[in-house]
Amino acid sequence: MEASRIALPIGTALDRFIKNNQDQFAYASGELSQLLRDIALASKVVNREVNKAGLIDIMGPMGSQNTAGDEQQKLDVLANIRFTRALTKGGEACALISEESESFADLNNDGKYVIAIDPLDGSSNIDVNVSIGTIFSIYRRKSEIGTPIQENDILQRGSEQIVAGYVLYGSSTMMVFTTGHGVQGFTYEPSLGEYFLSHPNMQMPEEGKIYSINEGSYHSFPAPVKGYIEYCKEKNYTGRYIGSLVADFHRNLLKGGIYIYPPTAKDPNGKLRLMYECNALAFIAEQAGGKASDGKQRILDIKPTTLHQRVPFFVGSRKMVEKAESL
Ligand code: AHG
Ligand code: MN
Ligand code: MN
């Protein structure tokens, strides 16, 4: 039996999982798995910062005596710095798209991969000790290696992702990712500083009873979205909305449910960003048997036209998304 075919048991460390599943990593040459390791490492650093978020102001003046002084920055800027550093070091990435940067970062021309990242998602929840996350997508560059990066390397469809994942800094910290071979969930053990496989081959229930939407903007939702919410209420579904996309998505992935960020008066295309929020979660949802749509078409089929493009987002249990679409 090939090592890569061995069903890996719960408790397998992330590193071993990556090593034993090289065939899951498209174009396996070690670089892609190294990128995933780099993301895991940066997430551990961010996790450490997140865990002492309430102390950051207290510790700020002390940090300023250190060299860089970046320890005092807001956590989403700090997370951006951590992830950028981790992903830049190895030279595997040629470009980095981040929520925190207006333009993409032009990295190593010899790098083969393009990364899109929301370093800290749900940042308004930091101050109140509620779960937050990191979202990432990895693409293979289209232009020739060694040449300057081009627009078609950056503006790729979600269907071209080769790895996507998120880190959830919750009551425990988890990293959930897909390489296009199902969805794997790892839980962080802080005393050992390592992620261990806790949720192998995650499957989203095809039907659910949870709907997650910010109903405060109800009056400005399109009529079909209002109709779907009424339908959920008639069915006595449960309303759950954390306001951290990663946490809302994760709950619905485990329990079955739908997350909706529709067009509103304030955000006519919805609030969420295609390239570093929706695409990764859409890839994971589909790999877990769920569905993701902008209400009309598959999220992963949308051709981005700009870096920070927003799209309406319906993601979750397949039958729930289909029902919402049918309206
Ligand atoms: P970010 O913190 O990266 O800007 O993302 C916040 C997003 C997402 O996490 C969440 O689901 C949504 O904003 C909440 O928006 P509302 O407060 O409008 O519901
Ligand atoms: Mn976000
Ligand atoms: Mn963010």
Q: Mind listing the domains of the chain with CATH numbers?
A: 9-199 (3.30.540.10), 210-326 (3.40.190.80)
Give yes or no for residue 69 having a pLDDT over 80. Answer: no
What is the rounded distance in angstroms from the CA atom of residue 244 to the CA atom of residue 156?
Answer: 25
Q: How many helices (H) and strands (E) does the chain have?
A: 9, 13
Q: Which of 23, 55, 70, 207 is catalytic?
A: 70
Q: 3-state DSSP call for residue 96?
A: strand
Question: 76 an active-site residue?
Answer: yes
Q: Is the pLDDT of residue 2 over 90?
A: no
Q: Indicate whether 156 pLDDT > 80.
A: yes
127 is annotated as an active-site residue? no
Six-digit token string for 45: 């650093």
**Has 23 been annotated as catalytic?**
no
3-state DSSP assignment of residue 252: helix
CB-CB neighbours of 94 under 10 Å: 27
Specify whether 70 is catalytic: yes
Residue 238's closest CA among 218, 212, 207, 216?
A: 212
Q: What is the mean pLDDT of residues 44-55?
A: 88
Q: For the segment 213-223, what is each residue's pLDDT rounded down to a tens digit?
A: 999 999 999 99
Reply yes or no on whether the pLDDT at 312 is more than 90.
yes
pLDDT confidence of residue 90: 85
286 is annotated as an active-site residue: no
Best residue among 261, 269, 276, 281 to mutate for probing ligand 1, ranked by most atoms within 8 Å of CB: 261
**Which chain residues have CB less than 5 Å from ligand 3, an ion?**
99, 118, 120-121
**pLDDT score of 314 more than 90:** yes
Sign of CA dihedral 278, 43, 189, 92: positive
pLDDT tens figures, 237-290: 999 999 999 999 999 999 999 999 999 999 999 999 999 999 999 999 999 999
Identify the residues whose C-beta falls under 6 Å from ligand 1: 99, 118, 121-123, 214, 243-245, 271
Q: Which of 36, 120, 168, 300 is catalytic?
A: 120
The confidence score (pLDDT) of residue 53 equals 76
Q: Measured in angstroms, how far is the CA atom of residue 76 from the centroid of ligand 2?
A: 10
Catalytic residue among 118, 153, 286, 294: 118
Residue 73 has pLDDT above 80, yes or no: no
